[in-house]
Structure 1
Amino acid sequence: MGQGHTRSHHGNESGSDTSSQSLNYSHSKRNSACLMKLFQKLELTADEDHSHPGELSRTTFENAFHGPLDKFGKLLYLQMTQNHGNHSRERITKEQFVKSGKEIIKMFDEAVQLKYYFHLFAAGKDHMNKEDALQMISVAYALTLSASSIPFNKTSKDEQVFSAMVQSMFGINEKLTFEDFKQWTHRHSPHVFWGVHNWVYTIMTGSKMPEEQEVSAPVPLLEKFVEGKYCMCMGMLWALSTVLPSSYTHTDKEEGSEAPSTSNKNPLLTSYMVMMKLARLSKCQSWALLYDSTEHGLSQNRFAHHVMSYQGPTVTLVSFEGRNVYCIAEDRQWREGLQKFGDVDSMLIQLTPVYRVIQSGGPLVQWNEHSRDVKKGIHVGKDSKSLVLSIPSDFDKVEHYHIPCEIHKLEVWGCGSEQARDAQLQQKKWEYKNAEKHQARKLRLDTNWDENPDKQILQWGGINVDHQYSRDGGF
């Protein structure tokens, strides 16, 4: 019986392997067809006499990339030809194009993508210089916006963020090796190439991908966003999207999108299914502006009015002297009290002048308005004895590692669902109506005291309220 069970088990494994091989072959055949079709489209764009059928010249390939992608086209051509021993690199054959393209398409693992694109932007070297890194960041930004269907735009504030990221990578060094880059991305920007690979994958497999294979870059939209009006800029938004957990950038998963089974023994298919799980997340969440100190006023009362009761994750930007901009990413709603709040997805990120994740995980923030036992205001940092940021209750400055600095601006963006924003607005309406009702019931000497409900409440407390002035209607 044991032997029979063993044979049956091996038979199932054999069947599973055959099925996996068949699926792999099907995907490989489809990808080859898409790449050949793309190659033919590029052939049609050739300006020179086409004297080498079945080959693309370097110029024809690079001319397909325009604007901010001009440099990327040159680097991609170099990477695709270098990997297949094309030493002249002045032409690429259809066979080389298809083979190299298929290698890119099957890169489902982000660790593999990281290594591939690092060497691409390093132009084949074993290290990057600062110019290479700045080019890499700029192209990754442009391609991520394109993959997210967001119009490309770059301002001086965006360039400050990109320079801050490069400064963070290099520190005092002039060269950046892949190992150093891998360590940096692991902590500060794990999804830096997500949008790059999505864009390349889409181009190489055809403009229309099956819905189950779409992988949207996790860049949220900003409601009523006007470039230059806010502390937030598109460069900051992109940088945050490369490091923030999905709880800030996606709504809840659709019903029925169960986690894929990891029992499949084919690692390629397992990685593919993980990617498909990500693809089934609903489209990126739109962030709603909850509080803007320029518009709403820089005070603790105004901050509390606009932020309290929002039951969803938030991103708070704090801008102060020294070109400093910090992001407080909170995965729990803001609340006042002596207890710190924040869970595993909370993060404190410095955006400029040096981009870096300062702390991650919670509890991270304390907001004290009333207790005299603790200093009043907002305090940020996991260790209360070495706080990174403190905003006193007067909101007149920022203490940066206990050094007072002039505060410039505060912004809070709500990263939850539309329901979270609607619930906050409904709560505020209820509070307003309740305050009006309470105001109408307040004790006034010009009203009929005998009919006032507060009289009964006071009597229950043992207070004699039957004074002569209340019965006579005056003193």
Structure 2
Amino acid sequence: MGNHVVRSAGTTKKATGPKSGSSVAQTKPPISRSSSGADIQNTSHTQFLPIDRLAKILTEISQKEEAVNGITQFVFQKYLFPHHPELADRLFSHLHASSKVTTTYLGQSVFKHQAEKFLAIMNDQTVLENYVKMFSENKEESEITPDGLRKLLMVSYRLAMSGNRGVSCTQILNTVSAVVNACFHGKDTLSVSFVSNWLWQNCQRIVHGMHKYVIHILTTAYRSGKSLMSSEQSGPHLVPSTPVLDQPDNATFSETLLSISHVWLLAATLPYCYTKTEEDPHKDGIQALITKMSGTVCLRHWTPLYNSDQHGAAANRFLHHVLGYKGPTLIFIRGVNDTEDRNHYPTYCICSAAEWRESHLYWGNEDSMVIELLPNYRVVQKGSKLLYLNTSIRGYPQGLRAGADPRSPCVAIDQSFHEVNFAGVPYRISSLEVWGCGDSKSRERQLEIKKWQVKEAEKQRVVKLSTSEWLDHPDRYLLELAGRPSYNNSSS
């Protein structure tokens, strides 16, 4: 009755009853593999047609150019990643090490199996760990050096900037060194698991753009025929993967603190409310799903709101330019003293996902963060009730603060906005910037409020008085005491 299992001699056979009523024992055929992995005999065949077609084209090219019955590293790099040879070599070496073949090339079936296995990974943390393994220096892919992490970050940065033609950053080396120094703390090697966990805690989306690019190449390169990606015309068009910086009127304004390399790094760290626009509520479920899977999302425009060098370093100037902006904001603070190198001045970023307001209590939602940018890049604290701003309420600390412990905040700016404490160490404020990360409507509403406030101030400044009101006005008596008894000659 029904299915039954027969066990004998250490083997397991499953007998099924077909429609004819006969019992047929089914066994899985063994897989035989040669030293090169070029011939894997198995009854199952590849169902992922893009990888199957790509493997056939690469095999034909390797056979023609190098007389090899498989896929070589040179062909893999030349025809798939001609503009990113470092990434090509690392990816091919990773696939080769995972296959455990003894030859220098990969067989067609082995390449298909390893590529499909690589693309089938859906867990973001596992994807991050795989890319850290790629840039490890030993064959076991168990340890990584500071130079390996630096190369990983540079490849990720170049891919992110390839969609921003003509954009360069002079601070990229300092930015990358800040990440490497914070992770290694002077050690020569670290385990792959430790480095991947550290990146996951401090910049978890650092390889998202790189992985998306690799997936795009492996799944669409076959469409270009046997030329694949080797020709300039067939290269993929990369959209910008970092928020767009709106340039202010003063060209030197955006060069004070916020560099494009820091924007790239923050985009891999901050919650999506700082970097991506909200989904269109008018889109139905299918359209929203297609947009999400295709990756065609609109990036935020970061707008400059306040700069201490241009607008003045004072609490009232900060409040005037920041309050009323209904959107996420980033505050960049650089401390300075006479003993440290200018390129290593401590720089912190206070991230607020809600509108700034004055209060004697700490506030903020779960997307609030405090990040150290220099000299070491790390997420200091994140969570709710991290932010504090008070310039008018007496009996409570004055100034701007950020931190989970009110008695010992991570960042504390005094009421004059001239000094700052980073983790209890005092510094003079060299520069202070505020960038708005909301949509265009947030900035428009803030400007409208400012215009209304200016109009109201003008109305209060010009007061029209009649003759009878002036005769009883207190200012008339003050003018008379000052020697101007005939100040108003309208009666004559």
> Superposed, which structure 2 residues align to 1:214-229 within 5 Å?
219-224=242-247, 229=255
Q: Residue type matched to 1:222 in 2? A: L
Work out the CA distance in 1 between the residues paired with 2:93 and 2:290.
28
Question: Cα deviation per residue 1:206-264 (whole Å; 9 max; x = unaligned)?
Answer: 2799xxxx99885211112879723111221111111111111111112266789xxxx
Q: Does 1:374 align with 2:396?
A: yes
Distance 1:28 1:288, change over 3 A: farther
Report the RMSD for the aligned CA atoms in angstroms.
3.6
> Superposed, which structure 2 residues align to 1:199-214 within 5 Å?
199-206=213-220
Instruction: Quote the offset at 1:52 in angstroms.
Output: 2.0
Give 2:65's match in structure 1, choosing from 46, 50, 63: 50
Give 1:88's match in structure 2, choosing from 94, 103, 108: 103
Instruction: Quote the offset at 1:92 in angstroms.
Output: 3.4
Aligned to 1:122: 136
**Contact 2:46–2:52, Cα closer than 8 Å, also in 1:** no
Instruction: Quote the offset at 1:378 in angstroms.
Output: 1.0
Aligned to 1:189: 203
Instruction: Quote the offset at 1:383 in angstroms.
Output: 1.2
* Range that drifts further, 126-135 or 390-399: 390-399
Q: Does 1:235 align with 2:250?
A: no
Work out the CA distance in 2 between the residues paired with 1:28 and 1:257.
33
Distance 1:33 1:215, change over 3 A: farther
**Contact 2:50–2:222, Cα closer than 8 Å, also in 1:** no
The percentage of counterpart residues that share the same residue type is 24
Work out the CA distance in 2 between the residues paired with 1:412 and 1:70.
38
Q: Does 1:253 align with 2:275?
A: no
Question: Cα deviation per residue 1:178-215 (whole Å; 9 max; x = unaligned)?
Answer: 33123312321111211110111111122799xxxx99
Work out the CA distance in 2 between the residues paired with 1:243 and 1:151.
23
Aligned to 1:403: 425
Instruction: Quote the offset at 1:27 in angstroms.
Output: 10
> Superposed, which structure 2 residues align to 1:8-19 within 5 Å?
none
Distance 1:471 1:232, change over 3 A: closer
Distance 1:154 1:38, change over 3 A: farther
Aligned to 1:112: 126
Work out the CA distance in 2 between the residues paired with 1:208 and 1:133.
31
Give 2:333's match in structure 1, choosing from 318, 323, 328: 318
Instruction: Quote the offset at 1:114 in angstroms.
Output: 1.8
Distance 1:438 1:168, change over 3 A: same
SS at match of 2:99: coil
Distance 1:75 1:159, change over 3 A: same
TM-score, normalised by the number of residues in structure 1: 0.76
**Contact 2:325–2:446, Cα closer than 8 Å, also in 1:** yes
Question: Cα deviation per residue 1:258-309 (whole Å; 9 max; x = unaligned)?
Answer: 789xxxxxxxxxxxx9997465773111111111222222222222221111
Aligned to 2:150: 134
Work out the CA distance in 2 between the residues paired with 1:279 and 1:98.
24
> Superposed, which structure 2 residues align to 1:72-471 within 5 Å?
72-89=87-104, 91-123=105-137, 124=139, 125-146=141-162, 149-151=163-165, 155-206=169-220, 219-224=242-247, 229-255=255-281, 277=292, 282-321=297-336, 322=340, 323-441=345-463, 447-448=465-466, 450=468
Instruction: Quote the offset at 1:334 in angstroms.
Output: 1.1
Distance 1:27 1:92, change over 3 A: closer
The structure with the largest helix share of the pair is: 1
Work out the CA distance in 2 between the residues paired with 1:163 and 1:414.
27
Please list every run of 5 or more consecutive structure 1 residues that lacks an aligned counterpart in the other structure: 1-24, 261-272, 456-467
Aligned to 2:15: none
Instruction: Quote the offset at 1:451 in angstroms.
Output: 6.7
**Contact 2:303–2:437, Cα closer than 8 Å, also in 1:** yes
Aligned to 1:20: none
TM-score, normalised by the number of residues in structure 2: 0.74
Distance 1:27 1:66, change over 3 A: closer
Work out the CA distance in 2 between the residues paired with 1:88 and 1:135.
27
Instruction: Quote the offset at 1:167 in angstroms.
Output: 1.4
Work out the CA distance in 1 between the residues paired with 2:106 and 2:207.
25
Work out the CA distance in 1 between the residues paired with 2:240 and 2:53.
22
Instruction: Quote the offset at 1:449 in angstroms.
Output: 5.0
Aligned to 1:14: none
Instruction: Quote the offset at 1:324 in angstroms.
Output: 0.9
Question: Cα deviation per residue 1:422-458 (whole Å; 9 max; x = unaligned)?
Answer: 11111111111121122223x7xxx315479x99xxx
Question: Cα deviation per residue 1:400-443 (whole Å; 9 max; x = unaligned)?
Answer: 233321211111111111111111111111111121122223x7
Please list every run of 5 or more consecutive structure 2 residues that lacks an aligned counterpart in the other structure: 1-43, 224-236, 474-484
**Contact 1:341–1:363, Cα closer than 8 Å, also in 2:** yes
**Contact 2:358–2:389, Cα closer than 8 Å, also in 1:** yes
**Contact 1:250–1:281, Cα closer than 8 Å, also in 2:** no
Question: Aligned pair count?
Answer: 409
Work out the CA distance in 2 between the residues paired with 1:469 and 1:127.
91
